[in-house]
Amino acid sequence: MGDAEAGKKIFIKCAQCHTVEKGGTHKTGPNLWGLFGQKTGQAPGFSSNDANKMKGIVWGEATLMEYLENPKKYIPGMKMTFAGLKKKSEREDLIQYLKESTS
């Protein structure tokens, strides 16, 4: 898949709103610990909007690959302002970093 070290550099953009460590705080967006295998809008202790809750998918490599390309298209009505990562290689790197840092 991707390169976790490269993904860590990409995550700097995400870190404005998200944390990854176990027990990490929620910011504007939820802490991402335990992301893989979790349903959308279900981060413990975070108040997600209805669009995230109703999407009903489980986060994994395939769902994140599609979501990270264009989040607002994947989950219409969500509040996240991030436009997405158009380059497949950047998405692969970020996903690899998330796999290693959120579990």
Per-residue pLDDT, 2: 95
What does pTM read for this prediction?
0.94
Burial 40-71 (b: 16+ CB within 10 A, else e): bbebeeeebeebbeebeeebebeebbebbbeb
- Residue 80 is predicted with a pLDDT of 84
Residue 20 pLDDT = 97
Q: What is the pLDDT of residues 45-93, one digit of tens each?
A: 999 999 999 998 999 999 999 999 999 999 999 888 899 999 999 999 9
